[in-house]
Amino acid sequence: MIKTYLKPYLNNTMTEAHQINTETGEVLHYMINNDPGITTIKYPFSFYKTSAFEMGYTSPAEMIKELKRRKQLGEEVDATRQEAEEINALLDLAKVRIEKSYHIYDIEEKLLEIYGLSEEFTFKTLDSIKKNIA
Protein backbone atom coordinates (compact mmCIF):
# COMPACT_ATOMS: atom_id res chain seq x y z
CA MET A 1 0.00 0.00 0.00
CA ILE A 2 1.26 3.46 -0.89
CA LYS A 3 0.85 6.26 1.65
CA THR A 4 1.39 9.87 0.64
CA TYR A 5 2.07 12.72 3.05
CA LEU A 6 2.18 16.44 2.25
CA LYS A 7 3.69 19.15 4.42
CA PRO A 8 3.85 22.90 3.66
CA TYR A 9 7.40 24.19 3.26
CA LEU A 10 9.04 27.65 2.99
CA ASN A 11 6.03 29.82 3.84
CA ASN A 12 3.81 27.58 1.73
CA THR A 13 5.68 28.36 -1.52
CA MET A 14 6.44 24.65 -1.73
CA THR A 15 5.06 21.41 -0.38
CA GLU A 16 7.29 18.61 0.86
CA ALA A 17 5.95 15.21 -0.19
CA HIS A 18 6.71 11.68 0.96
CA GLN A 19 5.37 8.63 -0.84
CA ILE A 20 5.94 5.50 1.26
CA ASN A 21 5.32 1.93 0.15
CA THR A 22 4.32 0.22 3.39
CA GLU A 23 5.01 -3.25 1.96
CA THR A 24 8.49 -2.79 0.42
CA GLY A 25 9.74 0.17 2.43
CA GLU A 26 10.50 2.25 -0.68
CA VAL A 27 10.37 6.00 -0.08
CA LEU A 28 10.01 8.71 -2.71
CA HIS A 29 10.73 12.21 -1.38
CA TYR A 30 10.07 15.25 -3.55
CA MET A 31 8.84 18.84 -3.57
CA ILE A 32 5.78 20.43 -5.19
CA ASN A 33 5.89 24.03 -6.41
CA ASN A 34 3.14 26.24 -4.92
CA ASP A 35 4.65 29.65 -5.67
CA PRO A 36 2.17 31.70 -7.74
CA GLY A 37 5.00 34.12 -8.53
CA ILE A 38 6.65 31.39 -10.58
CA THR A 39 3.65 29.60 -12.09
CA THR A 40 0.11 28.56 -11.24
CA ILE A 41 0.99 24.94 -12.06
CA LYS A 42 1.67 22.95 -8.90
CA TYR A 43 4.22 20.60 -10.44
CA PRO A 44 6.45 18.08 -8.62
CA PHE A 45 10.25 18.32 -8.78
CA SER A 46 13.49 17.27 -7.04
CA PHE A 47 12.75 13.56 -6.67
CA TYR A 48 14.86 11.41 -4.34
CA LYS A 49 14.38 7.65 -3.89
CA THR A 50 15.50 5.75 -0.83
CA SER A 51 14.04 3.16 1.56
CA ALA A 52 13.03 2.95 5.19
CA PHE A 53 15.81 0.41 5.69
CA GLU A 54 18.49 2.65 4.12
CA MET A 55 17.31 5.37 6.50
CA GLY A 56 18.05 3.07 9.45
CA TYR A 57 14.54 1.93 10.35
CA THR A 58 13.60 -1.71 10.85
CA SER A 59 10.26 -1.34 9.05
CA PRO A 60 8.17 1.19 7.12
CA ALA A 61 5.71 1.29 10.03
CA GLU A 62 8.50 2.27 12.44
CA MET A 63 9.67 5.00 10.06
CA ILE A 64 6.16 6.44 9.66
CA LYS A 65 5.61 6.41 13.42
CA GLU A 66 8.92 8.15 14.12
CA LEU A 67 8.52 10.78 11.39
CA LYS A 68 4.98 11.54 12.58
CA ARG A 69 6.28 11.91 16.14
CA ARG A 70 8.87 14.44 14.89
CA LYS A 71 6.14 16.19 12.84
CA GLN A 72 8.12 15.68 9.63
CA LEU A 73 5.45 13.98 7.52
CA GLY A 74 2.52 16.36 7.40
CA GLU A 75 -1.01 15.40 6.40
CA GLU A 76 -1.80 12.04 4.81
CA VAL A 77 -3.66 12.38 1.50
CA ASP A 78 -5.19 9.93 -0.97
CA ALA A 79 -2.17 8.58 -2.87
CA THR A 80 -4.03 7.79 -6.12
CA ARG A 81 -5.65 11.21 -6.33
CA GLN A 82 -2.39 12.99 -5.48
CA GLU A 83 -0.51 11.05 -8.16
CA ALA A 84 -3.17 11.92 -10.75
CA GLU A 85 -2.90 15.61 -9.82
CA GLU A 86 0.89 15.48 -10.17
CA ILE A 87 0.71 13.79 -13.59
CA ASN A 88 -1.78 16.42 -14.78
CA ALA A 89 0.47 19.18 -13.46
CA LEU A 90 3.45 17.74 -15.35
CA LEU A 91 1.36 17.59 -18.54
CA ASP A 92 0.31 21.23 -17.98
CA LEU A 93 3.96 22.16 -17.48
CA ALA A 94 4.84 20.30 -20.70
CA LYS A 95 2.21 22.36 -22.55
CA VAL A 96 3.73 25.62 -21.26
CA ARG A 97 7.23 24.50 -22.20
CA ILE A 98 6.15 23.39 -25.68
CA GLU A 99 4.44 26.75 -26.23
CA LYS A 100 7.73 28.48 -25.32
CA SER A 101 9.79 26.01 -27.41
CA TYR A 102 11.54 24.63 -24.32
CA HIS A 103 12.62 21.00 -23.91
CA ILE A 104 10.39 18.45 -22.17
CA TYR A 105 12.83 15.53 -21.81
CA ASP A 106 12.83 15.74 -18.01
CA ILE A 107 9.03 15.62 -17.98
CA GLU A 108 9.05 12.54 -20.23
CA GLU A 109 11.56 10.92 -17.87
CA LYS A 110 9.44 11.63 -14.77
CA LEU A 111 6.27 10.31 -16.39
CA LEU A 112 8.02 7.10 -17.45
CA GLU A 113 10.32 6.41 -14.50
CA ILE A 114 8.67 7.98 -11.45
CA TYR A 115 5.00 7.49 -12.30
CA GLY A 116 5.43 4.29 -14.34
CA LEU A 117 3.34 5.39 -17.30
CA SER A 118 3.78 3.41 -20.50
CA GLU A 119 5.90 4.82 -23.32
CA GLU A 120 2.93 4.58 -25.66
CA PHE A 121 0.65 6.64 -23.39
CA THR A 122 3.34 9.19 -22.51
CA PHE A 123 4.43 9.89 -26.08
CA LYS A 124 0.88 9.86 -27.50
CA THR A 125 -0.23 12.36 -24.85
CA LEU A 126 2.76 14.66 -25.37
CA ASP A 127 2.35 14.43 -29.16
CA SER A 128 -1.31 15.35 -28.78
CA ILE A 129 -0.33 18.43 -26.74
CA LYS A 130 2.18 19.41 -29.43
CA LYS A 131 -0.43 19.04 -32.21
CA ASN A 132 -3.00 21.12 -30.31
CA ILE A 133 -0.49 23.95 -29.91
CA ALA A 134 0.72 23.97 -33.53
Q: What share of the chain is helix, strand, coil (3-state, %, to 5)?
A: 40, 25, 30
Read off the pLDDT of residues 17-69 as tens digits, 9 standing for 90 and up. 999 999 999 999 999 998 887 778 899 999 999 999 999 999 999 999 999 99
pTM score, two decimals?
0.88
**Arithmetic mean of pLDDT over the chain:** 94
Buried b (16+ CB within 10 A) or exposed e, 47-60: eeeeebeeeebeeb
Comparing CA positions, the residue from 87, 88, 107, 84 lying closest to residue 97 is 107
Q: How far apart are the first and last CA of the chain?
A: 41
pLDDT over 90 (residue 134): no
Comparing CA positions, the residue from 123, 61, 116 lying closest to residue 86 is 116
H or E element at residue 100: none
